[in-house]
Amino acid sequence: MKYKALVLILVGLGVLAVMVLFIGPAKIEDAIKLADPWYLALAVILQFVTYGLWTLRWSINIQSVGLSIENRDLLPMLLVGLAVNNITPSARGGGEPVRGYILSKYTASSFEKAFATVIADRALDTIPFIVLSVITIIAAASHLNLPGYGLYSITIAVVVLVSGFLVLLYMAFNLEFGRKVSLWIARVIKRFSRKEHAHLEEKALKAIYDFQNSMRIMGKDKNVLIKGLGLSFLIWFLEILRVYIIFAAFNVDVSLLVIAEVFIISTLIGFIPLLPGGLGAVDGLMIILFSAAGIPPSTSAAATIIERLISFWMTTILGLISLPYFGAAAVEKVFKKGH
């Protein structure tokens, strides 16, 4: 990990530390001591089930384009990608090229084909998130007592997310638009780079053609659309359920709807490319929103810290541990992402 990523992580931790000091470390510690360890263990198990479902969803895309790989090899690739997302301030997208790179090397396929499976995986993940975000905007107005600017901010964030998603889909399936974007990128690179880029435009067009061809194959596959979307909705439900179980460990009576609203809003904030994985911002917002929903601040902070230990820190550690499994080239790729 390069120094820039490390500094940003420390900034995020600093933001969280200020929040903890404001609430009172002793109060948070007392709340954590009251947590039921069996519920917390169930939350951890649920996170591992989610890893498995993420892997299964990605494998459906991979099989659709004719690539062959065992799920036991795919899981560590997924974890590496999630870890890179968490340590780079790139709107949770820094790990996707790394996933595509490792998959292409492991299956001896083109990067474009491998990367297309990753983009399709993110698309399948984004569709239910957009649905949940729209529901959240409607529900948050009555449940979370958010100020007007808060609702406006959430609405704008959802509009930006949907717009970006639609542009990406259009580029993935429209040949002419994809060609124009590829040529524009190639011209920008040639203008600002001092390196020689012979046949760059030709390579860019070939790359976008391979990428679009793979996307069209997956788009016509019913397994990708039906099973993939079904798994995506299930995954989001389990993620929300994990947070609900963590609060149950503290014997807090809070509705699943409130949990879902706070989780979706916080996830939206996590997409803003300021701090790695939204570290500090996501944690702080979750504490504030849960407190606004009537949960004591100390309990909100304790539950949020445990939730982030499971979903953020455990995932990051497992991903970094898995990285050497794919060799020095993959390690170097990740280190460059953190620059």
Is residue 36 domain-resident?
yes
pLDDT of amino acid 241? 96
Q: Which domain holds residue 314?
A: 3-121+220-337
Is residue 151 domain-resident?
no
Is residue 96 domain-resident?
yes
Domains in the chain, number: 1
Is residue 186 domain-resident?
no
What pLDDT, in 10s, does the model give residues 254-287?
888 889 988 988 888 777 656 665 666 788 888 8
User: Is the Cα torsion angle 234, 238, 240, 245 positive or negative in sign?
Assistant: positive
What pLDDT, in 10s, does the model give residues 134-178?
887 777 666 666 666 666 777 777 788 788 778 877 777 777 777
Lowest mean pLDDT among 78-82, 174-178, 197-201, 307-311: 197-201
Max mean pLDDT among 188-202, 213-227, 279-293, 294-308 falls in 294-308
Lowest mean pLDDT among 130-134, 137-141, 234-238: 137-141
Is residue 311 domain-resident?
yes
Is residue 298 domain-resident?
yes
Max mean pLDDT among 38-47, 211-220, 305-314 falls in 38-47
pTM of the model: 0.82
Is residue 176 domain-resident?
no
Is residue 152 domain-resident?
no
Q: b/e for 131-141, b at 16 or more Cβ within 10 A?
A: ebbeebbebbe
Residue 332 has pLDDT above 70, yes or no: no
